[in-house]
Amino acid sequence: MNWNRKATLMLALIAGAFAFGGIAIPLTNHPTFCASCHTITPSYDSWVTSSHKEVTCVACHVRPGVAGWLHDKAWNGTKDSMIQLFGTPTDSHNLRAKVESDVCLGCHRNILRVSEIAARDLPAPVKDVGLVMSHRAHMDAFGARGQGEGCTTCHSGVVHDKPIKGYPIVIPRGHVSADSQPWHPDHPEGSYLRTRALSDCFRCHDGKQEYQGKPVSRKCETCHIPEKIGAALLFN
């Protein structure tokens, strides 16, 4: 094959790659493409009724920058597509999709600057129960622990879970494990999503784990204004 033919073939391959990318990238960016996989369908159904329904899947699940795009979209997307076509996809109750805190903070960074040591103008029932805590202190603690924790440690269900007993979906289920009236998530025993749904504030605030040399308290007033504790207990 002479150089002219080689050059022509190379140019054709490059042009084909660009043409394919020009079609594939916009197509796979759309949430309906994600929903085409039957194991993703429940996640799609919950997304369309969530507070993030105007935010696409890739906006949260693909980290910004070239490295994030190559790994989270190109590599993981190709791998997941091959599993869907030729392998055995993970069932919907055991799906794991990491969202980096930097992605969350791209929109919600102001939460780190808010003073959370007094009652604030928050929607009920958060304001009613006097929930006060510092997001920055929690992010600092997560960083010190070095276990890959972050925003979704507490807010993992913000898009794909259902509200529980009046709690807005944006806040974690602080009292699930101490509830006098047991709540059971819609996931089978032993599944990842069931375990995640039952993980609450006492996961860290158990009175035994330490941060900066002190036990992480499980007392009500650690997170609630004392005079509002009675209202907080209504959720139990």
- Arithmetic mean of pLDDT over the chain: 78
Question: 231: which residues sit within 8 A by CB, 6+ positions away?
Answer: 125, 128, 129, 130
Cβ-contact 222, 215 below 8 angstroms: no
Give the residue-averaged pLDDT of 26-31: 77
pLDDT band at 60 (very low <50, low <70, confident <90, very high): very high
Most confident segment among 66-70, 78-82, 170-174: 66-70
Give the residue-averaged pLDDT of 8-23: 61
What topology does CATH give the domain 3-94?
Multiheme cytochrome fold (1.10.3820)
Considering the chain, tell me which residue range(s) the CATH 1.10.3820.10 domain(s) occupy.
3-94
Q: Which residue has the higher pLDDT, 222 or 163?
A: 222
What's the pLDDT tens digit per position in 120-144? 556 566 677 777 778 888 899 999 8
With CA atoms as reference, report the closest residue to 39 among 112, 109, 90: 90
User: On the CB side of 48, how many CA atoms lie within 13 Å of its CA?
Assistant: 10
What's the pLDDT tens digit per position in 32-59? 888 888 788 888 888 888 888 899 998 9
In DSSP terms, which residues pair with 131 in a beta bridge?
224
The phi, psi pair for 13, rounded to 5°, reads: -65, -40
Question: Is 227 a residue whose pLDDT tops 70?
Answer: yes
Write down the pLDDT at residue 236. Answer: 46
Question: Is 209 a residue whose pLDDT tops 50?
Answer: yes
Give the residue-averaged pLDDT of 81-93: 80
User: Lowest mean pLDDT: which of 3-17, 70-84, 127-141?
Assistant: 3-17
